[in-house]
Amino acid sequence: MDQPSRISRLHALELERIGQPELLDSIARLASERLGSPFAAISVVDEDREWFLGKAGFDLDRFPTHRSLCAACMEAKAPLLVHDVDTDPRFGPASRADDLLSRRSYLGIPLFHKAHGEAPERAQHAIPIGALWCASPEPFQLSKPDIAKLSSLADLANQCIAAHAKTLELARANASLTQLNLLFKQAEEAARIGSWRLDLDSAQLSWSDEVFAVHGLPANTPVDVDRAIEFYETADQPLVRATIERAIRLGEPFSFEATIARADGDRRRIRSMGERIDTDGKPSSLAGIFMDCTEEHLRTVALERAATRDSLTGLYNRSEFDRRLVEALATQRKSPSPKTLTVMLLDLDGFKDVNDNLGHLFGDRLLTRIARALDARLGGGSFLARWGGDEFAILFAPGTPAKDVRKCAQMLIAAITEQIAIGDARIEVGATCGFSEMCRDADAEELMRRADLALYHGKTCGRGEVHSWTQNIEQVQLARKAAVTQLSDALGNDRAFAAYQPIVALDTGKTVGVEALLRLRDPSGRIISAGEFFHALLDPALARRVTRFIFDQILKEASELLSLFGPDLRIGINITQSDLSRGNFLEVIDDLLKRSGLAPTNFVIEVTETMLLLDEQGAICKLLNLLDERGFTIALDDFGTGFSSLTHLRDFPIGKVKIDKDFVASMAHDHQSRMIVQALVQMGRSMGIRMVAEGVETEEQLQFLRSIGCSHAQGYLFARPASLEDWRAALKSRDPGEERDQRDAA
């Protein structure tokens, strides 16, 4: 043990406060008498002095540590016998000249303190304290037989020191316990968390003050188990009793939420947690905590409703429909006798004319009325949701025959078709339906794609009717093939490039990241955005090719991007389902890092909710965790209102969330959208997740986002996506995408 550590631990022992100092004096006197020495002492050696816990034969309070016999004994860690200081080569006459007692013969036994409970094999880490010694001004007054006599007294001195240390430890522990009890009581009051204990032998129930307060009772009101359970709602009482009985019988920890009625009749949501405590191998009590979580429960219920329900119509929303469809498909895959699943999309006809002529307020009222009509007429087992805009989605009960689906659709169309008078003119509002059905090998996206194709076919050539997906309709997908050709041709003929759209920190206004987006040039030089070739990316091989192309572009341009925007720039890369399911994504990423010289912290891997929903085997979660461990930021793109998204934030290593641009766009006229955005921002802040608002286009949107504490934003208000060449040439105060847009328009 080094000297500073020894001194620090020595001071912590507070030996100056040792109890019963007369006992230590008695030990010193006894040592003097047994060995026939005029001087004896129990010495402590600190950084600059040797002082005494007990002494006999002299009145000095301290010795200097220079040439200290006691220090030498302590450092030797063994008995030190000096027959004649003057002739001993370790000391000599000079040493005795410095000695205030002119000691010539000396015997010392080192004293050590071992921490309470320390294992014997760690005794070498005991604290060297000093020594019990006897001395005489005459030489050869002490001999080897005296070592045993003095050692027994040294053991007694060590025991006294150990007793003092234990007393000190207990005093400190008691002070800490008193402070902890005070803090715990304050924490109970602040957090509204109480504690309880049930003695299993006496059946006596004990509550802390906060538990009484939650129940609306004065502290120390007599209460037993039966009375406590009576506070719970009747429907919850069996759960509470069964939970307690199970905990007593099996010793399993438990946690539950339920509703109680306070003494004043006020209903509160509570959470109780506890476990069985065993003493001497036998159950002795149940103990746990009890908290009022009413506000949290109400927020969760409201957020769940906002997350799963459409704010305008009250129907379930698109994200919830996606979740239900994925679950239904998974159930059929596991079933030994799978049934056909049918989905239908219903799109209103003439609704745009209503909005254009009568305004969005009237349109919203009409949508709400139509939603109620659809909900009232759908049979049990079917699931209805607002798919978006003036479109609704229906998931029929498994095994519903196609003829029944068609009949239901015709009934719904008839129920909502009406004519609305606008002056002398009339607008007819009706609906067109498209549906598809698949069995065990169904894929959610493909099932919805086919229904959408059927609907699109109907909107094109047969409005007001019901259309089912067929192979003939599939031919319409030739347009998709054209998009694939267009994309492949652009990639192969150097007409593709990466465009970068900045992500801005709202507190500083600085660009802290960019999102890398694919753009194409047609043979005439026109810039083609992703919206025009998006369907081509449904081809997994082509999607992976696009990702590799973006990686290569970043590899070429990263160093200049960092020189333009700073070394801490984060580059966002959109990853597809096919990228993550390929199996070699980590190798691709590692190759990019190795060749670019960039760090993982320079990259943001952007994934979508759909990709996470489809991760039934957990492979994507495992891969994202590996990327997170390496230092990459995982971002959840196009964050919607799906409640499944909330579980994604818990189950996946999400470090950044990008709020879908539709929410941002509707904030100006939709109060519910503003509240949802605000709730999402607050939730992200509480979870330590960076929130990025997408699609910011107006100063009004920007000011609102700043006012609610949103940290980052992205959108045309700051800049359009632009190539590195455009960013290099553009003035810092201008949108580098603006000039190119103007040239394209010209």
pLDDT in tens, 549-586: 999 999 899 888 998 899 999 999 999 888 887 778 88
pLDDT, tens only, 507-529: 999 999 999 999 999 888 899 88
Give, in order, the Cα–Cα distances in Å from 197 to each of 200, 202, 203, 216, 356.
Answer: 9, 12, 10, 19, 66
- Amino acid in the structure at residue 41: A
Closest CA to 614 of 571, 640, 580: 580
- Amino acid 392 reads F
DSSP letters spanning 125-151: GSEEEEEEEEEESSTT---THHHHHHH
- pLDDT of residue 307 exceeding 60, the answer is yes
pLDDT at 483 over 90: no
Contact 659, 692 (CB under 8 A): yes
When pLDDT is averaged across residues 452-473 and rounded to a whole number, the result is 87
Judge contact between 65 and 168, C-beta under 8 A.
no
DSSP strands (E only) in 160-266: 193-199, 205-207, 254-261
Cβ atoms < 10 Å from Cβ of 195: 19
Q: Is the pLDDT of residue 744 over 80?
A: no
Q: Which residues pair with 64 in a beta bridge?
A: none
| Separation CA 372–CA 375 (nearest Å) | 5
Helix locations, 475-538, DSSP H? 478-492, 530-533
Residue 226 pLDDT exceeds 90:
yes
CA 170/CA 190 separation, integer angstroms? 29
Name the residue type at position 400: T
Reading the block at residue 16, the tokens are 């100056």
DSSP 572-592: EEE--HHHHHSS-HHHHHHHH
> What pLDDT was estimated at residue 301?
78
Q: What is the mean pLDDT of residues 601-623?
A: 83
Stated pTM of the model: 0.43
Length of the chain: 746
Which residues, listed in sequence order, are joined to residue 198 by a DSSP beta bridge?
205, 286
Q: At what angle do helices 540-565 and 585-596 cross, to 10 degrees?
A: 30
Give the helix/strand (H/E) hosting 699: helix 699-707
Contact at 8 Å (CB) between 670 and 311? yes
Q: Which residue has the higher pLDDT, 124 or 402?
A: 402
Is 90 exceeded by the pLDDT of residue 42? yes
- Pick from 218, 223, 231: which is nearest to 270 by CA? 231
Nearest to 410 by CA among 437, 380, 391, 430: 430
Mean pLDDT of 625-644: 82
Q: Which residue has the higher pLDDT, 295 or 737?
A: 295
Residue 106 tokens, joined: 């000396």
The pLDDT assigned to 233 comes to: 93
Name the helix (H) or strand (E) containing 511: strand 511-521
**Cβ burial, residue 275 (10 Å; 0-12/13-18/19+):** middle
Nearest to 196 by CA among 210, 182, 185: 210
Give, to the nearest 10 degrees, the angle between helix 145-191 and helix 21-35: 170
Of 344, 346, 374, 348, the residue nearest 448 (C-alpha): 344
- pLDDT at residue 352, as a whole number: 81
Flag whether pLDDT at 401 surpasses 90: yes
- d(CA 87, CA 109) in angstroms, rounded, equals 21
| Spatial distance between the Cα atoms of 713 and 711, rounded to a whole number of angstroms | 7
- In tens, the pLDDT along 182-207 reads 555 555 555 567 889 999 999 999 99
The separation between the first and the last C-alpha atoms of the chain, rounded to the nearest angstrom, is 82
Alpha-carbon span 612 to 651, nearest angstrom: 10
Contact 41, 54 (CB under 8 A): yes
Q: Is the dihedral of CA 281, 286, 289, 294 positive or negative?
A: positive
The number of C-alpha atoms within 13 Å of 422 and in the hemisphere containing its C-beta is 17
Q: Are 147 and 109 in contact (CB under 8 A)?
A: yes
The CA distance from 194 to 196, in Å, is 7
Q: CA 740 to CA 746: how far, in whole Å?
A: 10
Q: Tell me the DSSP string of 158-189.
A: HHHHHHHHHHHHHHHHHHHHHHHHHHHHHHHH
Average pLDDT over the chain reads 86
Q: Could you give the 3-state DSSP secondary structure of residue 483? A: helix
Checking if the pLDDT of 86 tops 80, the result is yes
- If pLDDT is split at 50, 70 and 90, which confidence band does 743 have? very low
742 — pLDDT class (breaks 50, 70, 90): very low
Q: At what angle do helices 402-416 and 360-377 cross, to 10 degrees?
A: 140
pLDDT of 117 above 60: no
What's the confidence (pLDDT) of residue 746?
A: 26
d(CA 346, CA 455): 8
CB of 275 within 8 A of CB of 287?
yes
Q: Please tell me the distance from the alpha carbon of residue 315 to that of residue 52, in angstroms, as a whole number.
A: 85
pLDDT, mean of residues 680-703:
92
Q: What share of the chain is helix, strand, coil (3-state, %, to 5)?
A: 50, 25, 30
Distance CA 245, CA 238 (A): 11
pLDDT for 18 equals 84
Task: Report residue 693's pLDDT band, with 50, 70 and 90 as the boundaries.
Answer: very high
Domains and CATH numbers, the chain: 3-170 (3.30.450.40), 192-292 (3.30.450.20), 314-469 (3.30.70.270), 483-574+711-741 (3.20.20.450)
Is the pLDDT at 485 greater than 90? The verdict is no
Percent of the chain's residues with pLDDT above 90 = 47
Are 54 and 196 within 8 A, CB to CB?
no
Rounded Cα gap, residues 355 and 41, in angstroms: 102
Kind of pairing, strands 722-723 and 496-505? antiparallel
Query: By mean pLDDT, which of 80-94, 160-174, 220-234, 286-300 is the weakest?
Result: 160-174
Say if residues 371 and 378 touch (Cβ distance below 8 Å). Answer: no
Closest among 630, 149, 705 to 718, alpha carbons compared:
705
Q: Could you tell me which residue, 348 or 353, shows the higher pLDDT?
A: 348
Q: Encoding tokens for residue 10? A: 């020595």
Cα gap 467→460, rounded to integer Å: 11
Better-predicted residue by pLDDT, 406 or 4: 406
CA-closest candidate to residue 330, choices 408, 180, 441: 441
Whether the per-residue pLDDT at 420 is higher than 70: the answer is no
**The predicted structure's pLDDT at residue 123:** 42
At 125, the pLDDT band (50, 70, 90 cuts) reads: low
Residue 421's pLDDT band (cuts 50, 70, 90): low
Q: pLDDT tens for residues 371-389?
A: 999 999 997 789 999 998 8
Q: How far apart are CA 469 and CA 452, in angstroms?
A: 9
